[in-house]
């Protein structure tokens, strides 16, 4: 049996993985899905959020594990799992990027987001007055994130989304071949994603020597719309 550690994306919390963690646990695996600082039930003030705070959160979970984990990141979570892999390479069996930002050394998430001209995300962002956080226009949230999800999943998600700090998204990542570069990587692309469009996903994963590319015909949220298929792929890595 394997241990899976799930890292959610921007605006979300560990709750978005509930269907997946339940499926994995039913097969005897360990599945952990923490809330990042200022997300979900975590009460860290958003003004204190940094990429370092995010990575410290995940590293602390890794440090409590007795065996290397399969580390899965969704969307912004890709930034985090890459940076964590640089800090804790010995604690990670495999990195799995689920329609996630797979950045090169020195890149920031914001750089890649701004290059994705067909994404619905950027044109529907609402920045706070101080530019330090953002939300997505409420009437566009389903279209952006959940257009193939059930009304029940959408209603639950929209009630749990929180503002996203701008600081981690603008922070360049720092990676080396000696640490991050040595960990096996899998990319799961989502072909109906309107946040990170398929062409941008492909550009990111072709810059790396991924051991496997998996395709799901889903929106940005396959943990809601295709949980059985996603879980099956994840279990195949165990």
Angle at which helices 77-87 and 51-63 cross, to 10°: 60
Q: Which position has the token pair 């705070």?
A: 53
CA distances from 30 to 103, 165, 217 (A): 28, 30, 27
C-alpha angle 187/8/71, rounded to 5°?
50
With the C-alpha atoms ordered 45, 46, 51, 55, is the resulting torsion angle positive or negative? positive
Report the CATH number at residue 158.
3.40.50.1820
Evaluate whether 125 touches 160 at the Cβ level (below 8 Å).
no
Q: How far apart are CA 170 and CA 68, in angstroms?
A: 29
Domain count along the chain = 1
pLDDT in tens, 185-195: 999 999 999 99
Evaluate whether 91 touches 65 at the Cβ level (below 8 Å).
yes
pLDDT in tens, 119-160: 999 999 999 999 999 999 999 999 999 999 999 999 999 999
Q: Residue 61: what are its φ and ψ, rounded to 5°?
A: -65, -45
Three-state secondary structure call for residue 4 = strand
Enclosing domain of residue 25: 3-235
Q: Residue 187: what are its φ and ψ, rounded to 5°?
A: -115, 130
Evaluate whether 192 touches 133 at the Cβ level (below 8 Å).
no
Evaluate whether 178 touches 208 at the Cβ level (below 8 Å).
no
Q: Where are the alpha helices (H) located in the chain, listed in sequence order?
A: 18-26, 51-63, 77-87, 109-115, 141-145, 151-158, 167-170, 198-206, 222-225, 227-235
Q: Residue 210: what are its φ and ψ, rounded to 5°?
A: -70, 140
Residue 69 buriedness (CB in 10 A; 0-12 / 13-18 / 19+): buried
The confidence score (pLDDT) of residue 209 equals 86
Task: State both tokens at 221.
Answer: 């949220």
Q: How far apart are CA 35 and CA 16, in angstroms?
A: 10
The confidence score (pLDDT) of residue 21 equals 98
With CA atoms as reference, report the closest residue to 168 among 95, 72, 101: 101
Question: In tens digits, what is the pLDDT along the chain, a chain of 238 residues?
Answer: 999 999 999 999 999 999 999 999 999 999 999 999 999 999 999 999 999 999 999 999 999 999 999 999 999 999 999 999 999 999 999 999 999 999 999 999 999 999 999 999 999 999 999 999 999 999 999 999 999 999 999 999 999 999 999 999 999 999 999 999 999 999 999 999 999 999 999 999 999 989 999 999 999 999 999 999 999 999 999 8
The confidence score (pLDDT) of residue 234 equals 98
């Amino acid at each position: 049996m394997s241990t899976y550690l799930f890292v959610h994306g921007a605006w979300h919390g560990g709750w978005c993985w509930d269907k997946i963690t339940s499926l994995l646990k039913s097969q005897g695996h360990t599945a952990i899905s923490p809330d990042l600082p200022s997300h979900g039930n975590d009460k860290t003030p958003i003004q204190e959020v940094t990429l370092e705070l995010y990575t410290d959160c995940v590293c602390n979970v890794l440090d409590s594990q007795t065996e290397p984990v399969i580390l899965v990141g969704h969307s912004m979570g890709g930034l985090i799992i890459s940076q964590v892999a640089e800090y804790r390479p010995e604690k990670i069996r495999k990195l799995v990027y689920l329609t996630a930002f797979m950045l090169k050394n020195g890149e920031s998430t914001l750089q890649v987001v701004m290059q994705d001209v067909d994404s619905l995300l950027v044109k529907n962002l609402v920045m706070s007055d101080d530019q330090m956080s953002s939300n997505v226009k409420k009437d566009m949230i389903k279209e952006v994130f959940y257009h193939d999800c059930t009304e029940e999943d959408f209603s639950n998600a929209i009630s749990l989304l929180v503002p996203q700090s701008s600081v981690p998204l603008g922070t360049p990542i720092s990676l080396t071949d000696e640490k991050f570069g040595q960990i096996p990587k899998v990319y799961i692309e989502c072909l109906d994603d309107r946040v990170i469009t398929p062409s941008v996903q492909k550009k990111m994963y072709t810059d790396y020597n991924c051991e496997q590319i998996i395709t799901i015909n889903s929106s940005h949220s396959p943990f809601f719309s295709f949980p059985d298929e996603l879980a099956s792929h994840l279990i195949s890595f165990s």
